[in-house]
A and B are shown apart, each in its own frame.
Chain A
Amino acid sequence: MSRIKKSSAQDDSFMFNNSPLQFKKKYCRFKKSGIKYIDYKSSEFLMKFVNDQGKLLPRRLTGTSLKYQRKVAEAVKRARHLAILPFIGDQLK
């Protein structure tokens, strides 16, 4: 599964709280819940994969597998094209 990379300097706030001490097993939420299609129209669902500046969250934080990360990225980019998600959001959550 995803190795814990040493947290590089420019990581945003996510890296600080999940220090390796209380490391929880990361899993791909799509495989677990069996989601096959990620809808680009559901903004609440896509918000989970975007940080508060509207940028896509990396796999090492969300733990999603490569196949579904690509689907999430494609869905988010489509949502941005249709102004469902902003390109640069500010305090989105």
Chain B
Amino acid sequence: MELKNYESVIILTPVLAEKQMQEALASFRQLITEQGGNIVREENWGLTKLAYPIAKKSTGFYHIFEFKAPGTIVAKLELAFRRDEQVLRYLTIALDKHAVLYNERRSKGEFNKPKEVKEATV
């Protein structure tokens, strides 16, 4: 099964304790690795304000997994997201080569210019 690049963003409810949040994230990490995927990068935005309230909450923990995995993993992963009631919202997308390149450059901190995020030439 050829590995494809995926990126999934989840929003966790802000009300839970740090420990519970780490447990939930660990369970997703473990699910990805056990399905034959490997996590390329993770990003945590911490407690951020949402643009509109979700489930009566106006803030949430954003967490971003970027991973390489076989295609069958997405259904299982999203089922896990759906089943876990701490996850308010999730989005999993497949990354094309431009996206992978962009993420690498973004993780190297190339884009966060102090004034505003201006895309450099690719």
Contacts and interface: CB of A to CB of B under 8 A. Distances in A.
A87 B52 contact: yes
A35 B52 contact: no
Given A33-B119, A89-B51, A83 B102 contact: no
Interface stretch (B13-21, B28-36, B91-99): B91-99
Q: Is the interface of A mostly helix, strand, loop or mixed?
A: loop
B116 interface: yes
B89 A34 contact: no
10 contacts: A33-B121, A35-B121, A36-B101, A36-B102, A37-B98, A41-B64, A78-B93, A83-B60, A84-B51, A86-B52
Interface of B: 9, 11, 50-52, 54, 60, 62, 64, 89, 91, 93, 96, 98-99, 101-102, 106, 111, 116-119, 121-122
